[in-house]
A and B are shown apart, each in its own frame.
Chain A
């Protein structure tokens, strides 16, 4: 086992584990913290793929900005009685839970069965692709149009947020 595979398994374990912890915690703050841990594990995975830029952006944007706001809102709301948030198992929930579990098993089966279906293309200069220079060039040439569309998408989201949240619509 090379260092890379060890890192891969360790980081994958952390990311899956933290994701599980995140959805099973009762306290929303703890869920958020586990999600942040998950982002770090993901960033680590990107690093093992030589995608430095994406890794740093993952931390800077998701862990550093978005999740801080999340925590902020959770703390402001101060959900208080956490026991109310937990739900009891009832027969109504058994059916969807069973269906979801079945779907998960199917997916796991297919994924493990389909391992050989993955094309083993080796991309040359793979280490270069993760750099800022490469990403920047790609964004402003081949992916110029999606890049511009994204700005419109963000504008729409800003307008939407203001429309819904502005205190007083004079």
Chain B
């Protein structure tokens, strides 16, 4: 019992640290890539190639004065960023970053909690994240914030549906809600050579899920909640200092989580094709698999960033139309077709 708690705590700390560090790297990457796309230089003053820019930003945010507007509702104003960051970080608890690993004489799974409702847990935590944004918008007592909050909650709810429905196809194929078993199921090969990844079996579900993930993370082309020309900063207009930093962190942590979920569900998770036939030792194989997982996540994150700087923003009604009239029917049709194929 004591050992288990220790192991869990250790896993938890490691995962948290990794996420926080990757957020810093991600912010730097995003700024450099966007600068590259727009033919600018980007941050290049702090440290070599501007590498420490993100750290400088963090220090700045921490030292800034925390301003709460006069008419804001303080308890909720304080609570909102906590909800956001809490939801963003706790999703990672059920994601398997690798297969089992032998360490100090015990075999352990490379995930914090192995629950049999894994994927439902992810969905429910994501749905809780909405509150952070909605409440931030409401408690600031500012029209721009409120509109931003309302928009985002409408957007998140609309896309949660297609997100949930697109997952169902995957669930039907793998027959379980446990994420590690979903990954295990993807380690097989079709016809002996093509990895049995769900992206090949469920291309439609993959597309709907990725689009929904973009919407859920409020990334362009779906970043309506903070559309600058219309809403100033959106829901976090009235936030400064640490609390703004938390929202910022939550946004990028959400991106990482989304990328991790996409990897787990559709890209074979930690599976490194053909590596198991190379005759490596179990420990090396495990390490390689963790690296494979990280590589896949990185690729998706880069995709997120590049998309952001190449596509224009949707109009709000277009956004809703896509959510309800395209993505949702598509996801339902996918479930139907998958069911039919499975029955036959």
A, B in one complex = yes
Residues of A with C-beta under 8 A to B156: 68
Known: A52-B116, A75-B138, A132-B177. A68 touches B124 (CB 8 A): no
The stretch among B10-18, B125-133, B185-193, B307-315 that forms the contact with chain A is B125-133
Q: What is the chain A residue whose CB lies nearest that of B175?
A: A133
* A61 to B149 CA separation, bound complex (whole angstroms): 20
Query: How far apart are A135's CB and chain B's nearest CB, in angstroms?
Result: 11
Contact A60/B124 with A36-B131, A68-B130, A71-B134 known, Cβ cut-off 8 Å: yes
Q: Does B157 contact A (CB under 8 A)?
A: yes
B 164-195 binary contact with A (CB < 8 Å = 1; else 0): 00000000000001000000000000000000
**Chief secondary structure at chain B's binding surface:** helix
Interfacial chain A residues near B137, Cβ < 8 Å: 75
Query: Is there contact, CB below 8 Å, between A65 and B127?
Result: yes
In the bound complex, residues from chain B placing their C-beta under 8 Å from that of A56 are 117, 120-121, 124
For A67, the closest partner residue in chain B by CB is B131
Q: What is the size, in residues, of chain B's interface with A at 8 Å between Cβ atoms?
A: 26
Cα-based distance from A76 to B134 in the complex (angstroms): 12
B124 touches A52 (CB 8 A): no
* Distance, CA A59 to CA B135, complexed state (A): 18
At the interface, yes or no: A20 with Cβ under 8 Å from chain B? no
A14: CB under 8 A from chain B? no
Identify whether the interface residues of A are mostly helix, strand, loop, or mixed.
helix
Cα separation A80 to B134 with both chains bound (whole Å)? 17
Q: Report yes or no: A64 in contact with B117, Cβ–Cβ below 8 A.
A: no
Q: Contacts A72-B153, A75-B149, A76-B150 known; A64 to B128 CB distance under 8 Å?
A: yes
Q: Known contacts being A72-B134, A75-B149, is A65 close to B157, with CB within 8 Å? A: yes
| Chain B residues at the A interface, C-beta cutoff of 8 Å | 76, 115-117, 120-121, 123-124, 126-128, 130-131, 134-135, 137-138, 146, 149-150, 153-154, 156-157, 160, 177
New A-B contacts (9) at CB < 8 Å, excluding given A69-B157, A71-B134: A29-B76, A29-B138, A52-B115, A52-B116, A59-B124, A59-B127, A64-B160, A72-B134, A132-B177
Chain A interface (Cβ within 8 Å of chain B)? 29, 33, 36, 52-53, 56-57, 59-60, 63-65, 68-69, 71-72, 75-76, 131-132
- 5 interchain pairs (CB within 8 A)? A33-B76, A57-B120, A75-B134, A132-B116, A132-B117
